[in-house]
Structure 1
Amino acid sequence: MSTCLLCHNYFEEVDSWSTLFSLVEPDPLCSTCSEKFEKVDGELCEICGRSFSGLPDEYREGNLCYDCVRWENEPEWKGVLTKNRSLYLYNDFAKDVISLYKFRGDFAISSIFKTPLKKSFKTHFNSSYLVVSIPLSDERLYERGFNQAKAIAELLDVPIHEVLARTHLEKQSKKSRDERISGENVFRVVDIVQDKDILLVDDIYTTGSTLRHAGKVLIEAGAKSVSSLTLMRG
């Protein structure tokens, strides 16, 4: 008998050979909570990982969604982000979970993503990537108490490289898409990334602005490529 990390109800674990021999982590969620997460799957935009399911044709151009077409049509941003892959859609349930984790400091919640995150990493990326979590500014880190992106990256059980630093500015969530794109770049590179394939890790992909701004300074510093792995796709 286990206790669900989200609803705190008791549930019976389904045993398998993998869990019996500790090849995978036991499921920390009951089936009811687990099924509320909507997986990002099917045919995807080859850059941002957006699902084409239910997306009108006018928001798609070949293998890219319209958002990525717009990014790629800007010379400043073309090729900055090679690929993003996300685990789940940012639905209402996911928003509540991320709020508990990110803003209310329920750090233990991150463990519910460990098994699917490691699976996604092995499916879409590999150990040759330099894994870099999106940093918080010193002010935001003091306010929140922990860096949610770094905690997510640590679930991969691979070395995390702190090659980026961040300047404190207004929260991205308060800005429009155009303001995010045209605003000052808050990131700077603080270690060597020359000829490295970088994998950025963050909690949510919304407009892709944060990841591309981080990617831009990494590419300018000599990184070979920049991709990203995120929990949620907005």
Structure 2
Amino acid sequence: MDCFRWEEDPKWKGILRYNTSLFEYNDFLKKYLARYKYRGDHVLAKAFVLEIENRLKEIKYDHLTTIPLSQERHYERGFNQSTALLETAGIVSSELLSRIHSEKQSKKSRRQRLQQKQVFTLSETNLKGHSILLFDDIYTTGTTLRQAAKLFKEAGAEQVSSITLARG
């Protein structure tokens, strides 16, 4: 239903071709990812390698890029959890985006997330005709992915799709 609601809004219609989530963000996965993401237990990423590898083999794209953390958040956490998931699977992503520091997404309500202003800037501005695949850990409202996708479309990307580890 969430995807249909986004497509009904003329501002966002056609921005993100699709999102695929590998797992449901249930209580178990919430605890598991919190341990990985906030306590730096990197070995936990290995549990997702096979699923990530298999899914990426099925998708055609020109650029695979992760949703970045702001410099402040990266310093605080010590790593980008999405990039680390890919690296654990031996997959290299392109750094096409940077993020402006803002309040943690996990601290925002659904409404606040949906009303969030653009938090990304592009490092590559000529993506005419390219296919972009965004990778992130958790899909909650879709705002973050759509904000990134909007920039890519404005830079000429033909299509932008996303894959997330989990869907909340």
Aligned to 1:212: 146
Aligned to 2:33: 98
What are the residue-to-residue correspondences of 1:76-225 with 2, within 5 Å? 76-123=11-58, 125-126=59-60, 128-191=61-124, 192-225=126-159
Count of matched residue positions in the alignment of Structure 1 and Structure 2: 167
Length-normalised TM-score, structure 2: 0.93
Structure with higher helix content? 2
Give the fraction of aligned pairs with identical amino acids, expressed as a percent.
49
- Aligned-partner SS, 1:215: helix
What is the deviation of 1:76?
A: 0.9
Separation in 2, partners of 1:149, 1:89: 16
Length-normalised TM-score, structure 1: 0.68
Unaligned runs of 5+ in 1: 1-64
- Aligned-partner SS, 2:48: helix
Separation in 1, partners of 2:86, 2:17: 19
What is the deviation of 1:122?
A: 1.9
Aligned to 1:42: none
- Aligned-partner SS, 1:100: helix
Kindly indicate whether structure 1 or structure 2 has the higher relative contact order, using CA contacts under 8 Å at least 6 residues apart: 2
Aligned to 2:5: 70
Separation in 2, partners of 1:149, 1:71: 24
Separation in 2, partners of 1:229, 1:70: 19
User: Which ranges of 4 or more aligned residues in structure 1 deviate by more than 2 Å?
Assistant: 153-159
Separation in 2, partners of 1:160, 1:93: 28
Kept in 1, the 8 Å contact 2:46–2:89? The answer is: no
- Aligned-partner SS, 1:75: coil
Kept in 2, the 8 Å contact 1:163–1:193? The answer is: no
- Aligned-partner SS, 2:51: helix
Separation in 2, partners of 1:193, 1:101: 33
Render the CA deviation track for 1:188-221: whole Å, top value 9, x for unaligned: 1111422211111111111111111111111111
Separation in 2, partners of 1:84, 1:69: 12
Separation in 2, partners of 1:205, 1:81: 13
- Aligned-partner SS, 2:93: coil
Kept in 1, the 8 Å contact 2:24–2:167? The answer is: yes
Aligned partner letter, 1:214: A
Cα RMSD for the two superposed structures: 1.4
